[in-house]
Amino acid sequence: MKVRLLLFCLFITGILRAQVSDTAVLLPSVTVVYEEDEAQILWRKLSENWPLYQKQSFQSAKLYTRQTSDNNEVAFEQVSNIYLNDNQWFQEVEAFKDYDLPAADFGNNIEFQASFSFQGDYDFNQGVDQGTFSKYPYSKFENQCIEPLNRMIDVEYASSPIAGIMDRNALSHYTFEIVSRWESDSSEHVTLFFTPRKNRTGWVGQVEVDTRDYRIKQFEGAIGDMEILQHFSTTDLFYVDHQKLGWANGAQQVEFWLTEVNRIPSMTNKPRNLVAMIPDQELQGTDFWAQYRPKDDKLDAWTARQDSIIRYLNSDEYLDSADAVYNEFHWYEPLVSGVGYRKRSEGTQFFYSPLIGQFNVFGVGGWRWIPFAYGTKRFQNDQKLNITGRLNYGLTNADTKGSFGATYTYAPLRNASWSVNVGNDYQQITQSVDLTGLFARSNFIEKTFTEVYHRFEWYNGFYTRLGFEYSTRESIENLDLGNDIFGSLTPPQPFETYTVGQISAEILIRPYQRYYLKGRRKIVLSSKWPDFRIVFKQGIPNLLNSDVRYSKYEFILEDYMPSNRFGFSHYRVASGGFLNDPSTVRFIEYKWFRGGDYFLYTHPLYTFQNLPETFATPEVYFMANATHHFEGFLLNRIPLIRKLKLNAAMGASILSIPSRSLMHLETYVGAERKIKLWDQPVRLGMYYGLLPDYMNPGYRIKIGMDFKDTFLDRWNF
């Protein structure tokens, strides 16, 4: 195609105050010819038709998915019916097969775990099994809906958003080249190669195009260590009927095939926010899988062998024999591995900690002996009973403490449970202190307690946790801290022993909460709406000699907000206080605000980075924390910086306590880089404080790290 630009240049004598010159020169016309690149012309025609093809999707289909490795091993395979409902996919799993062999576990394994969290909010889904989608994220159809032809944001295999091949700015992001042509009986076909321009991040690959209707037939592309092949349908509808996703040079692959498109009966009476239904695994016959599984002799032979192994390893006969070996007593177990008993066919397990793990050198008052035991019983209807017990004996003070707890989950679909905790132990007043103050003995008290809690989800997204606590709280000022490593930090706070009788209610409202069902269990995903949380605690005076009379409240609003082009944001807003006279409240019940840490960027939604010190107050407070990650929107526009694959971030926090005339405002900016550690997406960052103007030494520049929640497909902050 040629674009002709005709330039007419006429030189006309000026007319000034009715005076006209007697000379005029007429320049000849000039034709300038510009010939556009042929590949760009093809892309423009594709882009003209692209919006029309995007609208020609399907409403239902049969989906077969499998995940394999380069040595012809299958991780899982699955057959589902999928339906498009209110622009969201619903997945009804018909059959699922997990080829992961059950661990033999004859009792010769040692496992260490540790965790710490700055989040003070109660997790209503704590202890709930995350199900199949957590173990195999690509068994969820939504996670397979990759659109390399459109712009993609917040993807784990790229440090910044990826411009799509059919994105409106694709010509400035990619170079295109026609590498081959061929003809069929009815049309001409073209292979269009594309690669990112210099200092750009994007796909490298090619698309096959039918020039009869300028329709893409197949996409092949790669970015980083991920490769994808998408074959598009040849029917009137436009959709991906086969996709192969691979990474680590083909070491792992996930494929799906769509059949029976728009021939699956529509769903009726489906709850609006139900994303998927997965039955408990049943061993299907080979004939069932053969009707969906593409023919592959090597994979078929491997799955046939694996089927027989899995059947045996899941049999009660094998489980009982393995458990019998596990249950045999050996002399070294009480010393290094612990003593355990289990019978998996009946859902029973018990464990007693080994001697090597029963001593705490950092205990209150010095060395402490802390043997621990737990037992579980899972019933056939998925009800579950958990029991834990811990002894806490101080070698220096010869003081015996301990606790006992039991939780009975009686309605898994309602996330409903009863919990009872009793004991006499040393407990932290708060975890909202900096790292040095976390172990300071001023942060510990002695507490004798009885607690009862009931958790229930009344309807989707509406949770309550009702509780009753009766406890006695004492100072540890008379405890001998001579051998205590942290005893020299800050001494225990003296106060008069008092008794607490308290009822509590916590309400969580999560509108339009998305979830899926796995057998009799409900696995919660997320919501596009904010979480609304209300917490109320009422001290009851004279109840069994209770000394407290207070009404403590807190309102919390938090949300995650993604944007197609500008990145994503997190925010959390909280306000609370006491309805009664604050001067009558004991300091242990105060609201605590965590001071900043030297050089450490802590969770920005729950902590402050530049608060000079940790403090507590019974007064009414208001706090708001927010972060935003630009995901390449800013730094990718700077040519030299773009090579570093950095992302810009910013944040702000505010704390206001009107009665104390306190107003703390802090802002900061940061540069972040995404990496992978053992297949876990990790984000490293360095942050610079802008406000307040004065900060303690070591508070201005900080480093931080975040791990992506691959189950919810989002970062924590």
> What is the SS3 string spanning 636-651?
HHCHHHHCCCCEEEEE
CB 214 within 8 A of CB 45: yes
Residue 367, Ramachandran bin (φ over 0: left; ψ between -120 and 50: alpha; else beta): beta
Structure tokens at 487: 């005893």
CA-based radius of gyration for the chain: 32
Q: How far apart are CA 143 and CA 78, in angstroms?
A: 14
Report the chain's terminal Cα–Cα distance, integer Å. Answer: 51
Beta strands 416-428 and 372-378 are: unpaired
pLDDT digits (tens, 9 = 90+) for 294-305: 877 777 777 777
Which residues does the chain have with pLDDT short of 50? 1-23, 32-34, 112, 114
- Helix or strand run (H / E) with residue 49: helix 38-54
Q: Do 358 and 369 form a contact (C-beta atoms < 8 A)?
A: yes
For residue 70, what are the CA distances in angstroms to 67, 74, 128, 232, 251? 10, 10, 33, 25, 5
How do strand 531-539 and strand 498-509 relate by DSSP bridges? antiparallel
pLDDT given for residue 498 in this prediction = 93
**DSSP tag of 337:** I
Round to whole Å and give the CA distance between 572 and 654.
11
The 10s digit of each residue's pLDDT in 373-413 is 999 999 888 899 999 999 999 998 899 999 999 999 999 88
Q: In the prediction, which pLDDT does 705 show?
A: 92
Query: In the numeric block, which tokens belong to residue 421?
Result: 């905790």
479: CB partners within 8 A, 6+ apart: 364, 365, 397, 399, 492
Which tokens sit at 16? Answer: 């000034």
CA–CA gap between residue 442 and residue 458 (Å, rounded): 40
* Nearest-angstrom CA–CA distance, 93 and 139: 10
Query: pLDDT tens-digit profile of 38-82?
Result: 889 899 999 888 888 887 788 899 999 999 887 778 888 899 999
- Say if CB 527 and CB 572 are below 8 A apart: no
For residue 629, the Cα-to-chain-centroid distance in whole angstroms is 15
List the beta bridge partners of residue 407: 386, 419
**Tally of CB atoms within 10 A around 707:** 12
Torsion sign (Cα): 603, 607, 608, 611: negative
> Residue 348 corresponds to which amino acid?
T
Give the pLDDT of residue 283: 64
Q: Label residues 385-418 b or e (16+ Cβ within 10 Å = b).
A: bbbebbbbbbebbebebbbebebebeebeebbbe
Q: Provide the pLDDT for residue 343.
A: 86
| Distances, alpha carbon 60 to alpha carbons 92, 270, 279, in Å | 11, 14, 20
Q: Among candidates 198, 197, 179, 204, which has minimal Cα distance to 189?
A: 179
Q: What is the pLDDT of residue 51?
A: 86
Distance between CA atoms of 407 and 21, rounded to whole angstroms? Answer: 104
Residue 303's contacts (CB-CB under 8 Å, 6 or more residues apart) are 74, 77, 99, 289
The β-bridge relationship of strands 60-69 and 10-11 is unpaired
pLDDT for 121: 73
For position 103, what pLDDT does the model report? Answer: 52
Query: Measured between alpha carbons, how far is 403 from 388 in angstroms, rounded to an integer?
Result: 8
**Does residue 90 contact residue 275 with C-beta atoms inside 8 Å?**
yes
pTM score of the predicted model: 0.80
Distance in angstroms (rounded) separating the CA atoms of residues 323 and 181: 64
Contacts of 615-618 with C-beta under 8 Å, sequence gap 24+, read 616/430, 616/587, 616/590, 616/591, 616/592, 617/582, 617/590, 617/591, 617/593, 617/657, 617/660, 618/577, 618/578, 618/582, 618/583, 618/585, 618/589, 618/590, 618/591
Residue with tokens 């971030």: 649
- Contact by Cβ (8 Å): 262, 60: yes
β-partners of residue 553 are 536, 577
